[in-house]
Amino acid sequence: MLAELFFTFAKIGLFTFGGGYAMIAQIKETVVEQKEWLDEEELMQMITVAESTPGPIAINMATYVGYKKKGVAGSAMATLGVVVPSLVILYVISLFLDAFMENKYVAYAFTGIKCGVAFLILRAGFDMMKKLEKRVVPRITFGVVFVLMILFDLLSVSFSSVWFILMGGVLGIVLYAVLSPKEVES
Amino acid sequence: MIYLQLFLEFFKVGLFCFGGAFGMIPLIEETVVTRGWLTESEFFNLIGVCESTPGPIAVNTATYVGSVMGGPLGSICATLGVVLPSFLIILLIAAVLKNLTDNKYFKGFMRGVKPVVVALILSTGSLLLLKTIGYAGVQKFRVDVVSVVILVLLVGIYFGITRLWKKKLSAVKIILLSAGLGFVVSMAFEAIKV
pLDDT in tens, A64-83: 999 988 899 999 999 999 99
Mean pLDDT, chain B, integer = 88
- What is the reported pLDDT for A142? 93
pTM: 0.83
* Segment B35-77, tens digit of pLDDT: 899 998 899 889 888 887 888 888 999 999 999 999 999 999 9
**Rounded-to-integer distance, Cα A111 and Cα A94, Å:** 19
**Rounded-to-integer distance, Cα B97 and Cα B11, Å:** 22
Give the three-class secondary structure for B113: helix
A151 falls within a domain: yes
Among B15, B106, B115, beta carbon nearest to A142:
B115
Chain Cα centroid distance, residue A93: 22
The rounded percent of chain B whose pLDDT value lies above 90 is 40
Q: How confident is the model at residue B150 (pLDDT cuts 50, 70, 90)?
A: very high
Residue that terminates a domain, selected from A72, A97, A122: A97
Mean pLDDT of B159-169: 85
Task: Name the nearest CA neighbour of A53 among B98, B20, B104, B11.
Answer: B20
- What is the reported pLDDT for A113? 86
Phi, psi of B59 (to 5 degrees): -65, -45
Residues in chain B within 8 Å Cβ distance of A119: 151, 154-155, 158, 174, 178
Give the three-class secondary structure for A39: coil
Amino acid at A41: E
State how far residue B158 is from chain A, nearest Cα, in angstroms.
Answer: 10
| A93 and A146 in a common domain | no
**Rounded-to-integer distance, Cα B70 and Cα A128, Å:** 36
| A92 and A9 in a common domain | yes
State whether B21 and A20 contact (CB < 8 Å).
yes
A122 falls within a domain: no
| A141 and A91 in a common domain | no
Mean pLDDT of B103-113: 85
A105 falls within a domain: no
Structural domain that includes position A15: 2-97
**Rounded-to-integer distance, Cα B16 and Cα A95, Å:** 29
Reported as half-sphere exposure (CB side, CA atoms, 13 A), residue A174 has a value of 7
A106 falls within a domain: no
User: Which of the residues A121, A136, A147, A149 would you substitute to probe the B interface, choosing the one with the greatest number of B C-beta atoms within 10 Å?
Assistant: A121
Give the three-class secondary structure for B194: coil
User: Which of the residues B86, B100, B181 would you substitute to probe the A interface, choosing the one with the greatest number of A C-beta atoms within 10 Å?
Assistant: B86
**Rounded-to-integer distance, Cα B78 and Cα B81, Å:** 5
- What is the reported pLDDT for A53? 83
Residue of chain A nearest B117, judged by CA positions: A165
State whether B174 and A120 contact (CB < 8 Å).
yes
Q: How confident is the model at residue A19 (pLDDT cuts 50, 70, 90)?
A: low
Task: Name the nearest CA neighbour of A38 among A89, A78, A73.
Answer: A78
Among B101, B104, B177, beta carbon nearest to A177:
B104
Residue that terminates a domain, selected from A97, A122, A151: A97
State whether B177 and A22 contact (CB < 8 Å).
no
Number of domains in chain A: 2
| A175 and A90 in a common domain | no
Distance in angstroms between the alpha carbons of the first and the last residue of chain B: 50
A176 falls within a domain: yes
| A9 and A79 in a common domain | yes
A118 falls within a domain: no
A44 falls within a domain: yes
A80 falls within a domain: yes
Give the three-class secondary structure for B135: strand
- Return the bridge partners of A17, or none: B54
